[in-house]
Structure 1
Amino acid sequence: MRSTCLSIAVLSALAAPALATTSQPSAVVELFTSQGCSSCPPANAFVTELDQSHTDVLALSYGVTYWDYLGWKDTFGHPDFTKRQKAYDAALDSGVYTPMLVVAGRHHGPRLTEATAIGTSIPASLKLAAHAGMHCIEGDLPVGSKLALVEYRPGTKTVSVKSGENHGRTLTLTNVVTAVRYKDWSGEPICGLQPEQALAVLAHDSQTSAIIGAARYEP
């Protein structure tokens, strides 16, 4: 992995003055929501407003699947997102519910104030370096930290719900997550990433769910 990263660095030095870097969010808010949950639209709207008014905050929306039986299958839902929420439950003893907002992997609630959402800052210990469509994860993180690589569609998406608890409503969701996978941090850069859409990298403390570093790329 390191040799790949060094090769990219050499090519970058020849082609450009320096590697382009993506942003490091000052705060991270994750929403676990469902299109089949009648109490979720206010939380969806909160995340949309937060994203639009605070460009330094990373807000992500995960569609969970356990309410699909109520008559509407979440069009953005995936079992992996339900598993991520259950991992937070195991770490925070939060229970599994919607809407569930998680701040910096440390705090949770069905609703939050803006001050609470942006009040837990994320250390600038992680970054994404980019060149010619290739990305490297670089950081000053403890070895063994767990990295979540979260792909999402930046901006808002609307869904017209045809049945279930939100029948007849048009829902708006922001930064909809499409995939999540995990890597363990060895202390060496992780290179060769070629995201086709927006990518967030969240570093979790190895003993807790606390987010100790975050970076994002948006095309």
Structure 2
Amino acid sequence: MKSTLLSVLAITVCAAPAVAATTSQPTSVVELFTSQGCSSCPTANAFIAGLDADHPDVLALSYGVTYWDYLGWKDTFGDPAFTARQRQYDQALDSGVYTPMMVVGGQAHAPRMPIDTATRANVPASIALVRQSGELCVEGKLPKGSKLALIGYEPGIQAVNVKKGENRGHTLTLANVVTDLDYREWSGQMVCGLHPKAGLAVLAHDATTAAIIGAARFEP
């Protein structure tokens, strides 16, 4: 990892009453596994950018994977931890590992999809991010043992000029690029001590199926 969420998101447990914060609970989550070295990925990148711009209830995230770096261009946003997350979905969904790969709600995958599939509500409002004493906390009603993914990302669009590989000479645009990833197991108690420097998404996964059973988002 380029940096760890532990340096940005110091995790503690707190039990005091929460105060409402300006955050949101997405009704749908679409995660794109992409690579700047993949000639098939720019269309999917554009799809995710459109989702983010036109559908505020959808949380759309872009992960840079690393297994195409050997083609001549090293993904500037790539991280082995993001490749590992995609492989976890492969184990849960028997999806194979490919790009572009979109995962909807942690339950279905495809290289492309109709807009109504991506925007259809698939995530219950079971967790929320709330402010307390100048920090963010995760509260919710989840089964104990659920897996929390703490995902740092850069909100908005980033442009990358690719100089080598399959996309040589092209400028790629990517939305909500993931920068950090960490995991916690839900104990039933509020998780506090979150101090994100940019966007933060918290995804709660079913411990067995990897389906997303809760989602919350913060953007400064």
Q: Shared fold (TM-score greater than 0.5)?
A: yes
Q: Is the 8 A contact 1:35 1:161 kept in 2?
A: yes
Q: Relative CO higher for 1 or 2, CA cutoff 8 Å, sep ≥ 6?
A: 2
Aligned to 1:85: 86
Q: Is the 8 A contact 1:5 1:192 kept in 2?
A: no
Aligned to 1:161: 162
- Cα displacement string for residues 125-180 of structure 1 (whole angstroms, at most 9, x for unaligned residues): 00000145401110000000000000000000000000000000000000000011
Larger deviation, residues 63-72 vs 189-198 = 189-198
Q: Note the 1:162-181 alignment, pairs <5 A.
A: 162-181=163-182
Aligned to 1:142: 143
Letter paired with 2:79: H
Identity of counterpart residues, as a percentage?
A: 64
1:20 partner SS: coil
Aligned to 2:52: 51
Specify whether residues 134 and 5 from structure 1 end up closer, same or farther in structure 2 by C-alpha distance, changes over 3 A only. farther
Q: Paired residues, what number?
A: 209
Give the C-alpha shift of residue 196 in structure 1: 1.0
Letter paired with 1:145: S
Letter paired with 1:31: L
Aligned to 2:101: 100
Q: Greater CA radius of gyration, 1 or 2?
A: 1
Q: Is the 8 A contact 2:140 2:190 kept in 1?
A: yes
Aligned to 1:29: 30
Give the C-alpha shift of residue 120 in structure 1: 4.1
Q: Is the 8 A contact 2:100 2:111 kept in 1?
A: yes
Q: State the alpha-carbon separation in 2 of the partners of residues 23 and 79 from structure 1.
A: 29
Q: State the alpha-carbon separation in 1 of the partners of residues 131 and 36 from structure 2.
A: 35
Structure 1 outlier segments of 4+, above 6 Å? none
Q: Note the 1:6-17 alignment, pairs <5 A.
A: 6=16, 9=17
Letter paired with 1:94: S
CA RMSD after TM alignment? 1.2
Specify whether residues 181 and 208 from structure 1 end up closer, same or farther in structure 2 by C-alpha distance, changes over 3 A only. same
Q: State the alpha-carbon separation in 2 of the partners of residues 131 and 173 from structure 1.
A: 32
Letter paired with 2:43: P
Aligned to 2:192: 191
2:36 partner SS: coil
Q: Is the 8 A contact 1:22 1:130 kept in 2?
A: no
1:45 partner SS: helix
Letter paired with 2:98: Y
Give the C-alpha shift of residue 118 in structure 1: 1.4
Letter paired with 1:150: I
| Higher helix proportion | 1
Aligned to 2:9: none
Letter paired with 1:211: I
Give the C-alpha shift of residue 103 in structure 1: 0.2
